[in-house]
Amino acid sequence: MEQSNKLKHYLSQYMAEVDYQNFGQMTYEEHYNQKMNMRDFDLLAYWLDYNGVFDGGEDMISKLKILTNKTTTL
């Protein structure tokens, strides 16, 4: 369970930063809180969709590797 929380925290931080830069209507903290309030599966789906994994892009495997590598070091 703790690993899941670390993954959610990491994804929430990353996506809040991305959303804050791209959609500045809310503060970073508001974006982060919004992500933390999402269900784990929805947050992961949001990240995967944003990074083109659901589109079957050529680099989807490398993006998943980056995600798994970063989460194993948390």
Q: What is the pLDDT of residues 1-44, one digit of tens each?
A: 345 688 888 889 988 998 898 887 899 999 999 999 998 888 88
> What is the identity of the amino acid at 21?
Q
Q: Where are the domains of the chain?
A: 2-72
| Nearest-angstrom CA–CA distance, 33 and 45 | 17
What does pTM read for this prediction? 0.61
